């Protein structure tokens, strides 16, 4: 028993070390490239997005791959993290002048707010199963986006004012300022998100999820995924573990939202960035990277975020090519004929045959 436990420990530590090493390596290489002027502006602009897309993919993989529930509302949690933290940063930008302290607090606030909503929504949603759960998470994501779009918040000397109608209904006094301006969102959030912080947060996310997966709770969560009734009958508290996984996943998506909000100057809740399209894009990362495979999620997020940028030379055709690549990759991955073809033509198999032949000859 003790032996296996030790092996498990080393497995998660090794996995963490490999990923941390890889991220640090990429980080150092890109810093050298920036210093040497070898990196294009396009790539420089992509560094932070790559990190938050990876965080989103890893966190959604916790729900989809480890917990085994299809969620189509992940962008909603990102939206909550983004708006609460951007609100905080903009409100306190003159009070807390140290960007590091302010951003740390913003990350904590974004993560906590997303976790709170994750817990609440999880309690409601996780009673449903399969495709019903998928559609309800989609519904929650859309509700969050719509409500944020209709939200007006302002601050003056009397405190925080809040309205769902328009900016005039806030009744701000002379010294007041509007922070969340309905469909026009939050403008002028301090650009606190740097590549260093984003890379650190990605490592942190990866460590949190890997350690969770290899812990007692993680094994309970996977037991629920594999057979809910059997897991229940051996005394695993289904609701507790489901909500645990869902909440952590939401909190991490909130962290990605914080990075997103502090990387752009105007934060609006458009269908493009917080609608179901975004949730689906994250799901595409998870499925193409391998369901339940955390490293795969990071790789898929990086490759699929860069792909449309590198297809730019094809101009109008790039999204079309992206769609075709997506379909072809899914068929290549899952079609039974393709699976047998891959088995017969894999490099491993080729080497195995080669060594067999040489043995025979010998």
Residue 142 CB, nearest approach to other proteins (Å): 5
Q: Where are the alpha helices (DSSP H) in the chain?
A: 2-35, 41-61, 74-92, 99-125, 130-149, 195-213, 216-226, 228-233, 238-261, 271-274, 276-289, 294-310, 318-334, 336-345, 347-361
Residue with smaller CB distance to other proteins, 248 or 283: 283
**Dist. CA 189–CA 186, nearest whole Å:** 7
Tell me which residues touch other proteins (CB under 8 A): 64, 70, 124, 127-129, 131-132, 134-136, 138-140, 142-143, 146-147, 149-150, 164, 183, 227, 229-230, 233, 276-277, 280, 283-284, 287-288, 291, 316-317, 319-320, 322-324, 326-327, 330-331, 333-338
Residue 121 CB, nearest approach to other proteins (Å): 9
Residue with smaller CB distance to other proteins, 260 or 276: 276
Sheet holding 159-163, edge to edge: 159-163, 152-156, 177-181
Residue with smaller CB distance to other proteins, 125 or 259: 125
**Dist. CA 259–CA 84, nearest whole Å:** 12
Residue with smaller CB distance to other proteins, 60 or 203: 60
Residue with smaller CB distance to other proteins, 4 or 233: 233
Residue 336 CB, nearest approach to other proteins (Å): 7
Residue with smaller CB distance to other proteins, 70 or 86: 70
**Dist. CA 149–CA 113, nearest whole Å:** 18
Residue 199 CB, nearest approach to other proteins (Å): 28
Residue 146 CB, nearest approach to other proteins (Å): 4
Of 84, 59, 83, nearest in space to 71 by CA: 59
Residue 52 CB, nearest approach to other proteins (Å): 21
- The answer to whether 170 and 161 have CB atoms below 8 angstroms apart is yes
- The answer to whether 89 and 103 have CB atoms below 8 angstroms apart is yes
DSSP 8-state assignment for residue 188: -
Residue with smaller CB distance to other proteins, 142 or 192: 142
- The answer to whether 179 and 155 have CB atoms below 8 angstroms apart is yes
- The answer to whether 130 and 70 have CB atoms below 8 angstroms apart is yes
Residue 198 CB, nearest approach to other proteins (Å): 27
């Amino acid at each position: 028993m003790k032996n296996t436990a030790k092996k498990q420990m080393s497995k998660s530590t090794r996995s963490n070390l490999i990923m941390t090493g890889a991220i640090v390596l990429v980080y150092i290489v890109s810093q050298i490239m920036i210093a040497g002027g070898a990196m294009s502006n396009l790539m420089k602009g992509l560094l932070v997005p790559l990190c938050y897309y990876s965080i989103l993919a890893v966190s959604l993989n916790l729900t989809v791959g480890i917990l085994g529930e299809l969620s189509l509302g992940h962008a909603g949690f990102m939206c909550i993290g983004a708006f609460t933290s951007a609100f905080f940063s903009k409100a306190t930008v003159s009070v807390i002048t140290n960007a590091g302290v302010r951003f740390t607090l913003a990350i904590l606030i974004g993560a906590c707010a997303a976790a709170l909503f994750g817990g609440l929504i999880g309690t409601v949603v996780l009673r449903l199963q399969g495709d019903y759960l998928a559609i309800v998470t989609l519904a929650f994501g859309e509700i969050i986006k719509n409500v944020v779009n209709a939200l007006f918040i302002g601050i003056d000397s009397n405190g925080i004012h809040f309205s769902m109608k328009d900016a005039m209904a806030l009744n701000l006094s002379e010294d007041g300022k509007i922070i969340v301006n309905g469909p026009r969102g939050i403008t002028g959030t301090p650009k606190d998100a740097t590549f260093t912080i984003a890379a650190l947060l990605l490592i942190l996310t990866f460590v949190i999820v890997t350690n969770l997966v290899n812990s007692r709770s993680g094994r309970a969560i996977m037991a629920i995924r594999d057979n809910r009734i059997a897991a229940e009958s051996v005394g695993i508290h289904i609701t507790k573990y489901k909500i645990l996984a869902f909440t952590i996943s939401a909190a991490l998506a909130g962290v990605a939202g914080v990075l997103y909000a502090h990387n752009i100057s105007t934060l609006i809740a458009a269908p493009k960035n917080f609608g179901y399209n975004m949730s689906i894009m994250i799901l595409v990362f998870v499925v193409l990277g391998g369901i339940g495979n955390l490293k795969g999620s990071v790789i898929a997020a990086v490759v699929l975020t860069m792909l449309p940028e590198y297809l730019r030379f094809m101009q109008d055709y790039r999204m079309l090519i992206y769609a075709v690549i997506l379909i072809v990759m899914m068929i290549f991955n899952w079609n039974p004929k393709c699976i047998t073809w891959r088995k017969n033509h894999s490099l491993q198999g080729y080497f195995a045959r080669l060594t067999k032949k040489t043995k025979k000859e010998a």
